[in-house]
Amino acid sequence: MLGREKKEHQSYIEIVLFICALLCVAAVVIITIFVLVSALPLFKEVRLSDFLFSTHWLPTSRKDPGFGILSFIIGSLYVTFGALVIAVPLGIATAIFLAEMSTPKMAEVLGSAVQLLAGIPSVIYGFFGVMVIAPKVRQLFGGSGYSVMSASIVLAIMILPTIISISEVAISAVPKGYKEASLSLGASKWQTIFKVILPAARPGILASIGLGIGRAVGETTAVLMVGGNAPIMPKGLTSMVRTLTMNIATDMGYASGLHRTALFATGGVLFVFIMLLNIFVQVIQKKVKKDI
């Protein structure tokens, strides 16, 4: 039997624990409000369409100030697409190997390698990019080496672990019966993998790509080190590039007034994009759970 005092004590504890959990919700709400509200003053002076669809970025100019971030939006999409082209085939193939072809011992070693790859800080990838990848790109393709291509390669390495681990889970979660049914109908192992298992695992694989896109678009330090950071529209793979994240990180230290607000607004654009992507991924993952 619980004494009344003890019962009260119990409910206090529950309230404290509930507040801890509620702080996570509060954090998301406060982040959303502060990031978006700090961006608003910009739109008293600059039209939204001029902000999103102009490449004219001269925030410190007295005569002809410009706050257009189109080049950086395109830059972000460009390096992210480049990273996906490399990382998606590589990642899915490695996931297939892990789930379908490796022995348990091999899977364990590979799994910890992937985990280690995920744990390496982005500044190390950036440093490796500066020392190895950018010089190689310069040597092979010309230009300065600090380019869309270098940024895409570095990002591809960084999103590989995300794509591998989540795709692997999705592939392993395909019911054994599917595979057995396909094999017993006379399909080969490869037909089974490509025609039965991969289609069944498609939502999970899509979620892994979605999370990879989120990581690539949001990555700052590594691309800042290898992308060149010139505030221009990227013209090709060897052209320098500035992404949304780089734009925030570069000027934040000294910007003031409308310039600073424009950086907050850049953050707002990135934030809205990431939120939409997150919702997309969570909807898919919910669907995966329901299907299994």
Partner 1 sequence: MIKKYLIWMATIITIGILVAILGYMLVNGLKFVVEDEDGIINFLFQAPKKAGKEGGISTIIANTIFMIVLTLIFCVPIGLGASIYISEYAGQRRSVTAIKFSIDTLAGIPSIIFGLFGFIFFSNYLKLGVGLLSGSLTLSIMVLPTIIKTSVEAINAVPISYREGSLALGATKWDTVKRVVLPSALPGILAGVVLAIGRIIGETAALTFTMGTDYRLADSLSSSARVLSTHLYLLTKEGISFERAFATANVLIIIILIINMASNRLIKRRTIVDE
Find the binding residues for partner 1 in span 213-232 (CB under 8 A): 214-215, 217-221, 224-225
Q: Is 5 one of the binding residues for partner 1 (CB under 8 A)?
A: no
Sequence-ordered alpha helix ranges (H) in the chain: 4-39, 42-45, 48-53, 70-96, 104-119, 122-128, 134-141, 148-172, 176-184, 189-191, 198-200, 202-218, 221-226, 244-251, 257-291
d(CA 78, CA 88): 15
Site for partner 1 in 268-287 (CB under 8 A): 270-271, 274-275, 277-278, 281-282
Q: Are 219 and 234 in contact (CB under 8 A)?
A: no
Closest approach of partner 1 to the CB of residue 165, in Å? 12
Q: How many CB atoms lie within 10 A of CB 280?
A: 15
Stretch that binds partner 1, among 51-59, 166-174, 176-184, 261-269 (CB under 8 A): 261-269
- Would you count residue 43 as binding partner 1 (CB under 8 A)? no
Spatial separation of the C-alpha atoms in residues 144 and 134, rounded to whole Å: 8
Instruction: Please choose, from the candidates 244, 263, 267, 266, the residue with its C-alpha nearest in 3D space to the C-alpha of residue 252.
Output: 263
Contact 67, 50 (CB under 8 A): yes
Part in contact with partner 1 (CB under 8 A); list of ranges 16-24, 56-64, 142-150, 200-208: 16-24
Least separation in angstroms between CB 208 and partner 1 = 13
Output the smallest distance, CB 266 to partner 1, in A: 9
Strand, coil or helix: what is 19? helix
Tell me which residues in 194-213 interact with partner 1 (CB under 8 A).
194, 211
Residue whose CB is less far from partner 1, 35 or 169:
35
Tell me the two tokens of residue 267.
């953050």
Phi, psi dihedral angles at 15 (to 5 degrees) = -65, -45
Site string for partner 1, 44-73 (x = CB under 8 A): ------------------------------
Q: Indicate whether 119 belongs to the interface with partner 1 (CB under 8 A).
A: yes
Report, in Å, the least distance between residue 110 CB and partner 1.
Answer: 7
Stretch that binds partner 1, among 14-22, 49-57, 138-146, 168-176 (CB under 8 A): 14-22
Q: Which is nearer to partner 1, 172 or 221 (CB)?
A: 221
CB of 43 or CB of 235, closer to partner 1: 43
- Tell me how far, at minimum, the Cβ of 274 lies from partner 1, in Å: 6
**Least spacing, CB of residue 125 vs partner 1, in Å:** 8
Please give the full DSSP string across 138-184, using - where no structure is assigned: HHHH-S-S-SHHHHHHHHHHHHHHHHHHHHHHHHHTS-HHHHHHHHH
Smallest Cα–Cα separation from 217: which of 85, 80, 88?
Answer: 80
Per CB under 8 A, the list member of 5, 20, 139, 186 interacting with partner 1 is 20
